[in-house]
Copies of this chain bind each other. A is one copy, B any other.
């Protein structure tokens, strides 16, 4: 009742203003805890929203609207004509995940806008306000005046109420999210991909992203000066950035809001804004750890292509299968087994054959050997983003894998030719942005096709994650940022702050197949190194969540380091709880997670180039029982620069309420298994 009264009050206020003949209107909605408030309305012909927290502005008046390539814009002469409100509260379970159950609790406001010109046209915007942030999306109704919707640009603004510090990755560049994160003043941002995370001068943390990116172009954030940002959709080589037929809704534009940096990690807003599981029974989607023929190519010990150094041979595959079986890894990834890697695959010129093995690789024999050893092959489809070559083969390729018992496939989209390659339908090719509408569509076609064969997908050089794993639980992981391979050949390699940056940016979007666990740290190959300590490589298994985690280094390296390797063997990949114990964006972070299959807890802590010394209260442990803490910590001489491999492994018995002192070396980390006694 109060809400309705407030809305009416604002409406009357608006009508009292002098100005355009059209009445202004404002509606508002607050979060369940009452702290976040969104106000939506029209003023001087513009559709706008604003966000406040505890009455203090967070997002100041920001415009909503669109340019079209086939119709006049939604930008002026707009009038809010109706509102609808709703509330929602439920708990839902994840088939796999960083937690078992998520509460989806929000208040909703939908405001309908009408265009005052000529034949009236309408759109509405739905805001969902959670305790941990907001999401909103546009709805295009079925109306004769705007049936085929060709969007030239989305005009959504995000005007921050104050300056602060931003962690962001440049957008509009060509390398599919694989840039280092910049840390700059908000005013110094160029054009950013999402998630973009900021800490306002007042201390409040925000992260901008989107949820449920389906059949639409990816949203970039264009800095428009000061602390103002505007949506910029990834372009299309076909013209309009988005082509849809009404009715439809856009993806959700999201702002996660938290006083503490750690609150962003614990927010489930992105998943909550996605549709529930659409695949039915997904018990066939299995979290797993894996090893594979991969790192040896990156460090130039073998090749993807054929020849004397070919990595994917029957013999080598069996070696990895043996290693996996002996050490309890479910998966063995084999890259480079199928024809197409010779020649300019990197440039997308070579068409891969997704079912034809090289002569030195006996696919059937390898699969049979794996089965016999109780190990699953992890399939691999490097598409080189040559979609025109991949899609016609996709069905056969998944079918082949299914017949061999392969239930997960890593896909790759290295697109060095200048974009994703599609057929133009006239015998020519068309290059498209890796995150434009065409590629967004493609990725979902792959996931749906894979689901029909009960195969999980782990996409590398992907479209960014927007929480679609809720709707398609077989889309288990992605890359979507600089991974471990940059430590094999990057120029520069990932700096010590990189993984901590990821936790507060990339990881907010969803699981990342970072491929941790490099023990041969310096050098990885001549002239290159990982800029972490060994203990930090272990911590990554806890801090960088993924339901599929690789032990990326070579079997012989692990064999030579059985002590630290034990943590990789022990660490689970499926969790019932996740708690971010401490952390500051880009500086350090400590995360505890509880195994889904037991009462064990795990802790990962890591830092940037600065050492850390802090205490952690073990309040997360189950009450009334003892835990054996198996601690993998930076040794006294550990330093990412000079002594990365100095690690100490020790055990002690602890219980809930104990205080643990955690010391992290420069570039270091710590991993702990709390084994319930």
Contact = CB atoms under 8 A, between A and B. Distances in A.
Contacts of A230: 172
Interface in A216-242: 222-226, 228, 230, 232, 235-240
Given A235-B152, A240-B237, A418-B75, A67 B431 contact: yes
Contacts of A191: 191, 222-224
A251 interface: no
Contacts of A235: 152-153, 235
Contacts of A347: 72, 77, 117-118
Nearest to A238: B239
Contact of A70 (B185, B239, B430): B430
B429 A70 contact: yes
Given A118-B344, A223-B191, A344-B117, A73 B238 contact: no
Interface residues of A, number: 56
A69 B225 contact: no
A185 to B, nearest CB: 8
A189 B238 contact: no
Interface of A: 67-73, 75-77, 117-118, 150, 152-153, 155, 170, 172-174, 182, 184-185, 187-191, 222-226, 228, 230, 232, 235-240, 344, 347-349, 416-419, 424, 428-432
Contacts of A174: 67, 73, 75, 155
Contact of A236 (B232, B239, B417): B239
B224 A223 contact: no
A68 B418 contact: yes
A285 to B, nearest CB: 37
Given A70-B237, A190-B225, A191-B223, 15 more contacts: A67-B174, A67-B431, A70-B429, A70-B430, A71-B418, A71-B431, A73-B431, A76-B416, A118-B344, A172-B222, A184-B187, A188-B188, A190-B228, A191-B222, A237-B239
Contacts of A237: 69-70, 150, 152, 239-240
B431 A170 contact: no
A223 to B, nearest CB: 4
Contact of A418 (B152, B417, B424, B431): B152
Contacts of A226: 188
A266 B189 CA distance: 34
A571 to B, nearest CB: 36
A415 to B, nearest CB: 10
B75 A349 contact: no
Given A76-B416, A419-B152, A222 B67 contact: no
Contacts of A73: 174, 417-419, 431
Nearest to A73: B418
A232 B172 contact: yes
Nearest to A69: B237
Q: Which 10 A-B pairs have the closest CB atoms?
A: A73-B418, A69-B237, A72-B417, A190-B223, A187-B188, A190-B225, A239-B239, A190-B224, A67-B418, A237-B239
